[in-house]
A and B are shown apart, each in its own frame.
Chain A
């Protein structure tokens, strides 16, 4: 049966993986849990995991992909908490973004009409 053949193939590759682990130790990855080093393999999700970065209120990021329809600030401008930054049009909704703190605008990386992806640094405070 076709399916049996496929199972067989799977076995062979797994056995090979084990050999690699036994003979060439560098091939095997290490996972440390509670101080113990386990020799194992990583899966795709673990390999692609993102390093955590604490949120920075001075970096105004796009929280959703969308279009900048109105921009209220320019470089060098002094701003106060509650001042408008820009209007982001995303998912048929226009969202007004405001500053969370006082400061001076260090950089503006967008202009009106520009499409931004998610997590794009739009405006930066000093």
Chain B
């Protein structure tokens, strides 16, 4: 009898806390077009799979009348659940409670679930919707952020960490998402910046809206901070679920294998790539002609479009694709595309995902802006990432592969395991026009008709070097293959490298050109 009463009390206590910030605050949240934190978690995880912890946590701040305020759950919900059966740890900041502001106990709840995710070796998903530091708690709030960042770094490369920005995420708070593997943003809802429009206006006199400063489009198309863009929260959750299906739970496992499926017949690999290396095409069609079910899940789709990265499956196994995109800037490597490719390669390497690289690039992008922006340093990231990666590396040179770009794009020299080239591949220091201009400078300058001579010499050079056989003769590529053989050979390559092991010198860590 007495226990019944206690259970009654528990239910009552729960009910109160589950209301979050109360009806009025929830109405406001909905009016902003946002879901509440608890609804978000329920929408994201498998039905009835969410278990919440630390529901009864309370803050112990005393200054500024904080001792008189009750903040339910201290503005954050933590717990575990499953997505397609895969266990995940989740925290979701509750904007209805004190604007989701981060106090000491709020941070303690987050770090608790972070520690849990590391210990249990399962992915961590953080839903960010917070006004920032709880100013009343002063340096304790900052300490909380620091503890989160430290754990983000500790967890990095051990468990997948996913950040979902579903509201403001400003000031120091942005560094937690920045330290995680994938950042999801939603149109009109996500706002990320270090200093907001108000500060920018008072300090610098520049006026800008929140959306233009750090909205979803800005981060998925200009800054490159976000990896996945969507129009609605529901779409965003679908993307997260899809991503979870592609990646392993932790760095000791492989991603879950799916039943193998053939690519769709509408993608005919022989029809996609034009023979002339100066003509563009969409390299994503090549990926779709190769991947299971023609399913390609692109990462950072809107940023640095001159390289395409993302996940697909080959005979049911997850692979990472890194491909030059001739449709944009002729597929060159530049500051941003190097950054994008290198980071993705390191992700795949950390989580045991084989990397398939399709090469078709004229080299690095020339220009003062590129040199001054540090294309040397950024370009070196690609070399570093590929060299360091020990997962199976399979490379297909589709067409042109010139200069430093050829070396950087998972060449044999950076220890690619398999390098195939299509018959139209051109592997050379530079394109025939540029090369002929240099090698035959004298002949061209002294000829009666320099233009005619130049054309003749370009043709000569093309015949001699613009083919895959010079590189094949040195064993730099393993095989010249027909496009239609590509999938078969890649599948074979992945199969035989299932137990690949590489011995590297022991070191604390390398010094990549960050």
Contacts and interface: CB of A to CB of B under 8 A. Distances in A.
Given A1-B238, A28-B280, A45-B336, A35 B369 contact: no
B332 A14 contact: no
Interface string B278-291: 11111010000000
A3 B235 contact: yes
A42 B328 contact: yes
A17 to B, nearest CB: 7
Contacts of B435: 34
B329 interface: yes
A81 interface: no
B281 A18 contact: yes
Contact of B369 (A15, A49, A116, A118): A49
B94 interface: no
Given A33-B366, A35-B437, A52-B368, A40 B431 contact: no
A34 B329 contact: no
A5 to B, nearest CB: 10
B278 A14 contact: no
A56 interface: no
Interface residues of B, number: 47
B221 interface: yes
Contact of B327 (A17, A34, A46, A50): A17
B327 A40 contact: yes
A43 to B, nearest CB: 5
B431 A35 contact: yes
Nearest to A21: B280
B430 interface: yes
B282 A43 contact: no
B402 interface: yes
B160 interface: no
B497 interface: no
Interface string B200-212: 0001111000000
A43 B221 CA distance: 10
B329 A40 contact: yes
A34 B434 contact: yes
A122 to B, nearest CB: 14
Contacts of B432: 36
User: A interface, how many residues as a size bin?
Assistant: 35 or more
A126 interface: no
A38 B281 CA distance: 12
A1 B245 CA distance: 14
B204 A14 contact: no
Interface in B326-370: 326-332, 336, 362-363, 365-369
B234 A2 contact: yes
Nearest to A38: B330
A46 B329 contact: yes
Contacts of A37: 278
B433 interface: yes
B363 A34 contact: yes
A34 B362 contact: yes
B205 A36 contact: no
A117 B204 contact: yes
A44 B329 CA distance: 11
A119 to B, nearest CB: 12
A65 B434 contact: no
B280 A41 contact: yes
Contacts of B491: none
A18 B281 CA distance: 7
Given A2-B234, A49-B367, A50-B369, A38 B278 contact: yes
B284 A40 contact: no
B441 interface: no
Contacts of B336: 45
Contacts of B366: 33
B330 A40 contact: yes
A6 interface: yes
B203 A34 contact: no
B238 A2 contact: yes
Interface in B416-467: 430-435, 437
Which 7 residue pairs of A and B lie closest in terms of their CB atoms, listed nearest first?
A34-B434, A38-B330, A36-B431, A35-B433, A52-B368, A65-B204, A35-B434
Given A2-B235, A33-B366, A39-B280, 4 more contacts: A3-B242, A36-B434, A44-B222, A116-B205
Interface of A: 1-3, 6-7, 10-11, 14-15, 17-18, 21, 28, 31, 33-46, 49-50, 52, 65-66, 90-91, 115-118
24 contacts: A3-B238, A15-B282, A18-B327, A31-B329, A33-B363, A33-B365, A34-B402, A34-B433, A35-B434, A36-B278, A37-B278, A39-B280, A40-B331, A41-B280, A43-B304, A43-B329, A50-B369, A52-B369, A52-B372, A65-B203, A65-B204, A65-B206, A91-B203, A117-B204
